[in-house]
Structure 1
Amino acid sequence: MSDPPRLRVLEALRHRDFRLLWTGQTISQIGDAAFVVALGWRAFSLTGKASSLGIVLMVEAIGLVTTLLIGGVLADRYSRKLLLIGSDGARAVVIAALALVDASGHLTFGVLIAFVALHGLGSGLFQPAFGGILPLLVDDPSLGSANALVGISRQSAFVVGPAIAGLIYGVAGSSVIFAVDAASFVVSAVFVAFAHPRLHERAPSEGLRRELTTGLRYVVKVPWLWITIGTFSLVLLVGYAAFQVLLPKLVEDAWGGGVGAYGLLFTLQGVGMVIGSVVLGQTSPKRRRGVLIYTLFVANSAFGALIGLSPWYGGAALLQIGRGFCIGFAITLWDTMLMQRVPQQMLSRVISMDWFGSLGLLPAGLGIWAALSGLAAPGTLIAVSSAVCAGLFALGLSDRRIRSVD
């Protein structure tokens, strides 16, 4: 093994198997980020209504939530590598079929919803296995670096992917972007196939219900886990859902922008997220991590409120960079803390419950904001929802059980 790199954030790249996973995921994440932008604008173009994007996102979230807990149990019981390959392969087939239907000119809003639901089901099986496999590819001192690099990969995709989508959409249409995303899943599966993760201590096979109950009991016994999961469940219901549903309309109505301006906001958020992950990877804080995470999300919510109120697109773009920094740093720190504190045989179930709890109310939130989208200007609704989220994080920050977490 070579000497540690001068940049601590790059330390995990010394591990061959992590490099394979990371490279495949970087390519796949770029495809996913382009897909999200194309999906949002395609849904909007099919109906001309802001509510259509909310419905599509709600259906995808329902699909993801449906398989998350099952995915956690399977990933603690069986090979996480095979689960990743299977999920990537299934999603490649689904999105390739969507691209063909779209290219044929027969895509309707109902058909789009059906494909998105299938995509969500595959993603729900992927996430717990992915979170569980990282500690099997690097040694413990490199785990912070690994999470930072995964964050950088994911967040760089939000820079590259939307930019690609903005360029391609107007020239070749959404079907080409969908096809690129399908190909990226295939590439990811091939890279994972060549990785050799360490064997992990597997959970005993006790039946789905009992294994889920065991995982839930563990989460309930750890205050910083259930408080944070509960807080994010409300925040995604109130804030994230509003932002996702209303942003296309805000870009068009308040700033006179189109798909390029919409994609640029995601790109700039990705820039901030990359910076946040790099700073986390270099500093690797070990103390008062609970305070740091919650403080960053208070700031993120405040930036969101200011975006809703901004009369200038340029001001909103700068605020998106700030939001990205807060998200990139805090999420990477949270993932690292989770993997370091949770036992390996329980990790994928806890990750699935983290995702499930956080996303559990998101489908309802997307549906609610789709219904409420016509009640006021989109900027006003985004500002109010973001202010509520800032209050929720401040409330969590006031709890000594969060402040005491290192």
Structure 2
Amino acid sequence: MEAVTAPTGRVRIFDALRHRDFRLLWSGQAVSLLGDMAFVTALGWRTFTLAGSSRLGVVLLCESGAMLATLLVGGVLADRYERRRMMIVSDVWRFAAVGAIALVDATGHLTFPILLGLAILVGLGDGFFYPAVGGIVPLVVEQPALASANSLMGIARWGSLMIGPSLAAFTYGAGGASVVFGFNAATFLVSAGLIWLARPRAVETPPREGTLREIRDGARYVAGIPWLWVTISLFAVVLMLQYAPQQVLLPKLVHQHFDRGVGAYGLLTTSLGVGTVLGTIAFGVLQPRRRRGVVAYTVWLVNSAAIAGLVLSPWFPLASGLAVLRGACLAFGVAIWETMLQELVPEHLLARVISLDVFGSFGLMPVGLAIWASVANVAPPGVLIASGAGVSSVLVAIALTRRWLWEID
């Protein structure tokens, strides 16, 4: 990574782009994430039309389970080996898996078992990728530019949420799901090629102690810090209660509650993306330094309330507006969390802590997906999603009363 002198004073939102290696990372992720969000939208609607909403829960369950199966090992490998190389291998893996889905669907041979098997392969690649990309950010910018880098990475991530679903809906309608899948496959090659050109700063790695022991070392570190283990554990429950039902039931909600089709499905997710981009930009401008844990939990509490309002709204325009609000809150809180991890966690443990964060936070997602898929026909989808968001609101509010949250900056 080339040396760039950081400016004095408050770091501006675009300062991280002064670093060549970050520009390469950001460009590759902006393209790849756009493909990912288009893929998620197309996968959801293709599975829904192929096998129904309950089978969509099965696909998402198996894909997320596969990601969790490789996530902790991926964290160890990303702390042990070059994170850039881990990203490239994962990108090539996912190119092959998603490309296969596109090919089979284009030839008219896509069946539910084939779709399920290939989605599992995608999930396995995701598990190796996430710790590496999360841990590489501090290696391509100087520490004062971390907030800027996370804001820009958030803009790429959440911008894809704004553009990807609508792009998928338009492309799906014009050329079918196979075109969307093929586009996503190609973006993995773009990402791999750009990060191959980067030269991140090397990390001094400790002696190898075996994969399981290195995972335990990371877990021991997390367990000793309340703001880490409580947040990770809490969001394992929160995501099971309010994210999993949206994954399973959102297509059904759009179809039954709002009486609309795939275009509205994509538009609702795009509205969420607009909010997340706005929230990320707000973080980049404000860059809070005091009571960051309290600020993050507060905006997450508003997010949960907005979810309940969204799914119970009698009007689609109001639902879209609430999607913007919840997106802004979600992204602002996530940007705070990621910056705290990168600033406060030791560099040689960062990838493992990130893998534990994702593993812990999403650890109950397979359970949640299975539960919500099994009760998909018990009550209207809006009622089911709102009930999970309501319980989540109570849990987050309780955490806001804890002293350790108010003591951390």
1:16 equivalenced with 2:44 (yes/no): no
> Letter of the aligned partner of 1:205 in structure 2?
R
Contact 2:11-2:145 at 8 Å conserved across structures: no
Displacement of 1:4 after TM fit? 5.3
> Letter of the aligned partner of 1:34 in structure 2?
A
Q: 1:33 aligns with which of 31, 37, 46?
A: 37
Contact 2:11-2:148 at 8 Å conserved across structures: no
Aligned to 2:192: 189
> Letter of the aligned partner of 1:33 in structure 2?
M
Q: C-alpha distance in 2, partners of 1:374/1:216? A: 39
Contact 1:308-1:381 at 8 Å conserved across structures: no
Displacement of 1:396 after TM fit? 1.1
> Letter of the aligned partner of 2:169 in structure 1?
G
1:396 equivalenced with 2:393 (yes/no): no
Q: C-alpha distance in 2, partners of 1:281/1:395? A: 28
Aligned to 2:119: 116
SS in 1 for 2:366: helix
Q: How does 1:106-145 map to 2 (within 5 A)?
A: 106-145=109-148
Q: 1:67 aligns with which of 55, 67, 70?
A: 70
1:43 equivalenced with 2:47 (yes/no): yes
Contact 1:2-1:14 at 8 Å conserved across structures: no
Aligned to 2:169: 166
Q: C-alpha distance in 2, partners of 1:257/1:7? A: 44
Q: C-alpha distance in 2, partners of 1:191/1:168? A: 25
Deviation string 1:164-183 (CA, Å, 9 cap, x unpaired) is: 10111111000000000000
1:277 equivalenced with 2:280 (yes/no): yes
Deviation string 1:2-25 (CA, Å, 9 cap, x unpaired) is: 885998110100000000000010
Displacement of 1:53 after TM fit? 1.5
Q: 2:294 aligns with which of 291, 294, 298?
A: 291
Q: C-alpha distance in 2, partners of 1:257/1:4? A: 50
Displacement of 1:194 after TM fit? 0.3
1:335 equivalenced with 2:342 (yes/no): no
Deviation string 1:124-172 (CA, Å, 9 cap, x unpaired) is: 0000011111100000000000011000000100111111101111110
Q: C-alpha distance in 1, partners of 2:290/2:7? A: 23
Deviation string 1:77-127 (CA, Å, 9 cap, x unpaired) is: 111010000000110011111100000111011111101100000000000
Q: C-alpha distance in 2, partners of 1:64/1:321? A: 28
SS in 2 for 1:351: helix
1:225 equivalenced with 2:228 (yes/no): yes
Deviation string 1:322-347 (CA, Å, 9 cap, x unpaired) is: 01000111101100000000000000
Q: C-alpha distance in 2, partners of 1:201/1:285? A: 30
Q: C-alpha distance in 2, partners of 1:54/1:145? A: 36
Cα–Cα, structure 1 residues 83 and 151, in superposed 2: closer, same or farther, change >3 Å?
Answer: same
Aligned to 2:205: 202
Q: C-alpha distance in 1, partners of 2:291/2:381? A: 36
Displacement of 1:203 after TM fit? 3.0
Deviation string 1:354-395 (CA, Å, 9 cap, x unpaired) is: 000001110110010000111101111111111111111111
1:268 equivalenced with 2:277 (yes/no): no
Contact 1:75-1:128 at 8 Å conserved across structures: yes
Q: C-alpha distance in 1, partners of 2:90/2:348? A: 21
Displacement of 1:307 after TM fit? 1.2
SS in 1 for 2:123: helix
Normalising by structure 1, we get a TM-score of: 0.98
Contact 2:11-2:147 at 8 Å conserved across structures: no
Q: C-alpha distance in 2, partners of 1:258/1:271? A: 20
> Letter of the aligned partner of 1:39 in structure 2?
L
What is the aligned residue count? Answer: 405
Gaps spanning 5+ residues in structure 1: where? none
Normalising by structure 2, we get a TM-score of: 0.97
> Letter of the aligned partner of 2:18 in structure 1?
R
Runs (4+) off by over 2 Å: 1-7
RMSD: 1.3
